[in-house]
Each structure stands twice: as structure tokens, then as C-alpha cells.
Copies of this chain bind each other. A is one copy, B any other.
Amino acid sequence: MKPTPVYQQIADDLRRQISDGTFPPGSQMPTEAELLEKYGELHGVRSRQTIRQGLGVLVHEGLIEARRPKGYFVIQRKRLVYRPQAELRQKPPEVDIFTNLVQEEDGRTPSQEIEVSIVDPTPAIRERLGLEPGELAAARRRVRKLDDVPYNLNDSYVRLSLVQGTDFMHPGDVARGTNAVLGELGHELVYGFHEFYLRMPMPDEVQRLQLGAGVPVAEHLSTTFDSEGNAVQVTVNLIPGDRHVIVFETHREAGTDAPRIPWGNP
């Protein structure tokens, strides 16, 4: 048949050694020079580029990372629980990042930066909020961090006329939670519709979230409705795959008919 490319054989060989424990998570891989010598004898590899190509495969698979100028290291993941069902809880969502944290080992300090602005949202958001042409929205953009490394992005959008002059626009923490503010305005959130789009991050997202090469993200669109069926809030969450496990529960009685999705993709 067709022979496997040498760089693929190298990648396969190293991948096997990672999964069988020869190179455990956190350990250092052989350097390019060492690999060149080894596979030079085994497969007649003569160019450093071929070695780099093989290592590049594993980097893009999210298995290893290059720490210049120290060498390549096996990735070590520590995942936080991301729980979209917690959004409609009475408790302010700020405590969730704490409760979630307890599930992992403690000792890491969570923080978040909040930024409020008035924006003309993207078509995907306009569509879900049901905005009229030209109508604007209030945006609450949050970056959630743990020990100063960003964990996820959380941007909430609400029809501007609904929240102008209220605590929703307050830049900084709102102790009782912004969902409570919306409840006080007569729009208690009772139903949430969640969409997850999996993809590779854009360069600006890579920078904002300090993502490695082989790290996918989930774009989580959460559309929440009041008891009268009006879309009140759309939240765009960006969830890095290497730092989260997305968790939720289902109950037998909760089952209704499958809703259609009338919206386009973002």
C-alpha cells in the first residue's frame, strides 16, 4: 500500500509512549536533537524539520507543548466543572465558581473582571434576543480567572431599553446577581435554551484565554426566557476545552418534545 510518512511514524511512536506511561503528564520529552539521533538510526531521518513535523502533530493534538527554550513537555490537564444548569438557580452565579472550585483541590483564588457597555450585537445575538433593526443592547462582559489565569469568557446581552439605568449596568459585582435584577424588573428567568458549538479558537481568543496550540473551545450560547416566553438575555460563554468538563443532569419527567432551532449558526 502507501507507506506511512516518517514524521507520522515518529508521531505515532511518541504518542504511544505518552499513552503507555513512558512519558507521564508533566514530564519532558526528548529534545529535537536527541530524537534526530534516535530516528536517524531507526528510519534514516536526516533533517531536523522532519522531527519538528512529527512533534508538531502531537502539539496540534494537544498532547505536548513546547516551552522554549527548555524542550517539549507532556500536557497536564486540570479540569474545572462547568455547569450550565446552575444559571437558573436562585443563588447568585458568583458563588458557582466557588462551589465548583471545591470539587477540585482548593487553594486557588478565583477572580473576575467585569466590563459593561452599550453595543450593537452580532446578528446571532440580535436574532436570539429578537431585537428590532437598529435597536441596541446592554453588554456585561466578564473574564473569569483562577490564580490570574483566565478560565472562561462570559458575555451577557440584554435589550437596552429593559435595563438602562438599573443595576445590570453597574460595572463590577452585583451581590444579588444580575438574574435577580432582571427578576425585579418583572422578567424572572424560568427557561433556558443552550447551544454548544465546538471549534478551534480565533487568534484573539487564543490571546485572551492564553490557549495552547491543540486546545479547542466550546462557544456556549445560552438564551433565557421569562415566564411569558420572551427571550430576555443571551449569554455567550467561551469555554476552553483543556480547563473544563461540561456537566449537566437529565430527569425522566423533564422530557418534552424536541424544540426546533429557528436560528442560524454564529
A residues at B contact (CB < 8 Å): 12, 15, 60-62, 77, 79, 81, 83-90, 96, 99-100, 103, 188-203, 213-214, 216-218, 239, 241-242, 244-252, 254-256, 258-261, 265
Contacts and interface: CB of A to CB of B under 8 A. Distances in A.
Nearest to A224: B250
B62 A200 contact: yes
A245 B265 contact: yes
Contacts of A255: 85-86, 88-90
Contacts of A79: 197, 265
A22 to B, nearest CB: 17
Contact of A198 (B15, B88, B244): B244
Contacts of A203: 12, 15
Contact residues of A: prevailing secondary structure: mixed
Given A198-B216, A214-B200, A241-B199, A251 B248 contact: no
A245 to B, nearest CB: 6
Nearest to A220: B246
Contacts of A90: 255
A241 B245 CA distance: 16
A265 B265 CA distance: 30
Nearest to A246: B196
Given A103-B260, A216-B241, 16 more contacts: A60-B60, A61-B201, A88-B251, A99-B258, A188-B252, A191-B249, A195-B246, A196-B218, A198-B216, A198-B239, A198-B242, A216-B216, A245-B261, A247-B259, A248-B248, A249-B259
How many copies the complex holds: the figure is: 2
A242 B100 CA distance: 29
A252 B191 contact: yes
A108 to B, nearest CB: 17
A83 B244 CA distance: 20
A237 to B, nearest CB: 13
A249 B79 CA distance: 24
Contacts of A100: 258
Given A99-B258, A261-B81, A261-B103, A247 B195 contact: yes
Contacts of A87: 250
A212 B132 CA distance: 39
A201 B62 CA distance: 9
A51 to B, nearest CB: 15
